[in-house]
Structure 1
């Protein structure tokens, strides 16, 4: 088993500021990590009126579902002055990072519905099964806060249960434009894939990297040879389809990621 100093460097691909937060969390556990976001969160001024209107109607909602920490940040950043989260409205999240973002905004634990910490998966299906399916939905209102687009499974499921569901775009996700330092990091990964590993937390992020690789004048086999840790089976499937052969499924937990890295063969 490799020592901590011999561990591969984990490339954290989440959007900022979550990427730097994950790097710090991993470093505190003794795991070498570096941020290379594969998604950029871009606020859109055109979305602001709809977000402000959503704040005005929060008290009429049984539930507000946030798809990511950035959905929380963008929604609360555009709150009208003096707005407060209503006591009768519950928030929902699929992952611990989004739960933490909601708690940081002042919501208490009883106001936030999410999969149990010991869940095998952190996704909309698990949230539905564990927290939402038992609610009497006919006539109740729900709001899903997300980017410009996204997966509609939960909205469709809520509607089938009788809820009235609105989708709110609070930001836009775009591909990154890397600076010289980030391009140099990619070159180091390409040159020595065994000493690096990807952390993939989004299928869209995987596709952005795969598209960048496809645009390069020279082949980049090292980037695809690098082991990938995927935080959901759908993300793992996307990575394999894009050309990664070494894909390991993990939960979005820093300690588990470190444990999996320690199990990887690593050159001296």
Structure 2
């Protein structure tokens, strides 16, 4: 790594518990990772009328967090099926989420639908996968956080399905620890570059709020960002009030939402 970002700090903003494996891999490559989560994810408890798998022809999980939270809720309510209902398909917005479904050990692989890893990992790609399977389906369940995009749910409703949106987890903003802020500030004062990972649209606002709270908002416009979807890049661009013209555009790299892809993106930036 001989580029101008070879000694960059790598800021990881994923929720607590999600950064450690990538931290280790980055450190092994000679980077200095800095875990600064902007959101925490917690399953919602005490849910009334928890939707059951057998009552739906299709269950869509929007993220790995949705998978783990929903299965925790089912277990807590003693509603976890011993055998997954054969008439209930399960869909994931991407291969990473499909991996989280597989790790539950509850859903047969032939019932799980998701976009190919070569395609975009989002609702639009999943819709293309779902369309040929919709004809016999009547009821769909979308498992997500307290809120989320309505695009896929609206498409399913337009196709004639009854759609239930279930909030399985909540997102809470996390304030950066002072020690981490001071490490970041010291790096900036020493002239080091910063590569920052952002993995959700919701996390962008929490990131901006933290940066503003600690007087780092102006510096953030000079960071190099790694994101996992163009929507995140767009939200970041508008949130930092950076003009959309080429001269003012943020430095953003888009990659797949897998640790190996993120590591490759960071390594590539460091070599520039």
Q: Same fold (TM over 0.5)?
A: yes
In the alignment, structure 1 residue 241 sits paired with structure 2 residue 238: yes
- Count of aligned pairs: 258
Q: Which residue of 48, 57, 68 maps to 2:63?
A: 68
Q: Distance in 1 between matches of 2:193 and 2:170?
A: 33
Secondary structure in 2 aligned to 1:228? strand
The 3 A distance-change label for structure 1 pair 7 and 103 is: farther
Q: Report how far residue 144 of structure 1 moved.
A: 0.5
Q: Report how far residue 145 of structure 1 moved.
A: 0.7
Structure 1, gaps ≥5 residues long:
none
Q: Distance in 1 between matches of 2:11 and 2:86?
A: 39
**Cα pair 2:58 2:137 within 8 Å, conserved:** no
Deviations 1:144-173 (A, max 9, x none): 011111111010000001111000011211
Q: Report how far residue 45 of structure 1 moved.
A: 2.8
Report the equivalent of 1:200. 198
**Cα pair 1:189 1:222 within 8 Å, conserved:** no
The 3 A distance-change label for structure 1 pair 194 and 126 is: farther
Q: Which residue of 240, 251, 259 maps to 1:254?
A: 259
Q: Distance in 2 between matches of 1:232 and 1:75?
A: 24
Secondary structure in 1 aligned to 2:127? helix
Q: Report how far residue 19 of structure 1 moved.
A: 2.7
Secondary structure in 2 aligned to 1:133? helix
Deviations 1:48-93 (A, max 9, x none): 233xx312xx113111111111111111111133622323212211
Q: Report how far residue 210 of structure 1 moved.
A: 1.2
RMSD value over aligned CA atoms?
A: 2.8
**Cα pair 1:239 1:247 within 8 Å, conserved:** no
Q: Distance in 2 between matches of 1:140 and 1:20?
A: 41
**Cα pair 2:145 2:171 within 8 Å, conserved:** yes
The 3 A distance-change label for structure 1 pair 139 and 82 is: closer
Q: Report how far residue 139 of structure 1 moved.
A: 5.5
The 3 A distance-change label for structure 1 pair 82 and 238 is: closer
TM-score by length of structure 2 reads 0.82
Secondary structure in 2 aligned to 1:10? strand
Q: Distance in 1 between matches of 2:26 and 2:87?
A: 36
**Cα pair 2:9 2:192 within 8 Å, conserved:** no
The 3 A distance-change label for structure 1 pair 193 and 176 is: farther
Q: Which residue of 132, 135, 159 maps to 2:133?
A: 135
**Cα pair 1:29 1:255 within 8 Å, conserved:** no
Q: Report how far residue 190 of structure 1 moved.
A: 4.1
In the alignment, structure 1 residue 144 sits paired with structure 2 residue 142: yes
Deviations 1:4-62 (A, max 9, x none): x946343221223323344346557776534321111133334x233xx312xx11311
The 3 A distance-change label for structure 1 pair 97 and 7 is: farther
The 3 A distance-change label for structure 1 pair 252 and 224 is: same
Secondary structure in 1 aligned to 2:38? coil
The 3 A distance-change label for structure 1 pair 202 and 219 is: closer
Q: Distance in 2 between matches of 1:132 and 1:234?
A: 22
TM-score by length of structure 1 reads 0.84
Q: Distance in 2 between matches of 1:192 and 1:153?
A: 45
Deviations 1:225-246 (A, max 9, x none): 1100111111011111223621
Q: Report how far residue 204 of structure 1 moved.
A: 1.4
Structure 2, gaps ≥5 residues long:
243-249
Q: Distance in 2 between matches of 1:190 and 1:137?
A: 56
